[in-house]
Amino acid sequence: MGICEGRVVIVTGAGRGLGRAYALGLAAEGARVVVNDLGVGTHGDATTERPADEVVAEIRKAGGEAVASFDDVADWDGGGRIVRTAIDAFGRLDAVVNNAGFVRDRMFVSCTPEEWDAVIRVHMRGHFCVSRHAVDHWRAEAKAGRPVDARIVNTSSGAGLQGSVGQSAYSAAKAGIAALTLVQAAELARYRISVNGLAPNARTRMTEQAFGEAMQAKQGEMDVFAPENTAPLVAWLVSERSRDVTGQIFELIGGLVRVCLGWTDGPEYDLGRRWEPAAIGDKIIELLADRPAPKKVYGTA
């Protein structure tokens, strides 16, 4: 038996890349999976493709259970239908893995309002709509006296944790998702809902555009950026074994797993009275000299 035996999990954006790897990995660990994917292009443009059907067929061929969903994660009613698909198909819901998204890479001076809104919508509103409907279901279960042991797994990014040149909208959305994870974990613990986040480093349609050559597999070496590398962490976070872990962001690069610290207090000085502008500036320069060097923004020297 796998560590997710009997668990029912929604994976959004599960038709390709990381989402596909998560869906297949969860199914291999015994989960029943709702494979949600609109089948859009890397910029969110409509296509006639239905990769969710292909992933469902692959899971069933391997002896697992899965159903497809084609609803838009960022549509309020669509989010409700995704949750209802899990309950109608399998009679329950145990976890949501928020993975769906796309990019509209632009330098900040070139980013249009339409591009900004599209990226923020799919990532931030997409995380909100599906999770909010799932939480409504779990709260109702808890209030009815039925046991709840639920999970939300959110997808942030290194771009959200440290910034990425040419990805202002994407970085802002992913930073927001990291903060959302902290708030959800604090608020939802009373309902026995654990919430954690991922900052995966993987070769996908999105990352190949920006980091294509650097992410290619090297002959004779571990394929560090294979999407399948992150699937075991997702399976563990979805499983009952992760019950006591919440409010964390994990970064995974090949076989390296990292617990992210996020914002924390740094060097400080209390004058004991109101500062003068010039004096506070001098002190800030001193404090900055004492702080650990931050990680560099992706794309800077």
**pLDDT tens column, 165-182:** 999 999 999 999 999 999
- Helix ranges (DSSP H) in 29-75: 51-61
User: Quick one: pLDDT at residue 204?
Assistant: 58
User: Which phi-psi region, left, alpha or beta, contains residue 154 (left: φ > 0; alpha: ψ -120 to 50)?
Assistant: beta
- For 261-272, write each residue's pLDDT tens digit: 988 899 999 999
Q: Is 170 a known active-site residue? A: yes
The one-letter amino acid at 158: G
Identify whether the C-beta of residue 80 lies closer than 8 Å to the C-beta of residue 93: no
Which residue in 22, 156, 164, 170 is the catalytic one?
A: 170
- For 201-216, write each residue's pLDDT tens digit: 876 555 545 545 655 5
The one-letter amino acid at 13: G
Pairwise CA distance, residues 80 & 82, whole Å: 5
User: Quick one: pLDDT at residue 208?
Assistant: 47
List the domains of the chain with CATH numbers.
8-259 (3.40.50.720)
Closest Cα to residue 210, out of 54, 92, 104? 104
Which residue in 22, 69, 171, 174 is the catalytic one?
A: 174
Strands 249-253, 256-259: pairing is: antiparallel
Q: Is 239 a known active-site residue? A: no
Answer whether residue 229 shows pLDDT above 90: yes
φ and ψ at residue 100, rounded to 5 degrees: -60, 140
**What percent of the chain shows pLDDT beyond 70?**
90
- For 116-134, write each residue's pLDDT tens digit: 999 999 999 999 999 999 9
Pairwise CA distance, residues 45 & 42, whole Å: 7
* Structural tokens at position 120: 């923020």
Q: Is 168 a known active-site residue? A: no
Which residue in 157, 171, 194, 242 is the catalytic one?
A: 157
Q: Which whole number is the average pLDDT over 3-21?
A: 96
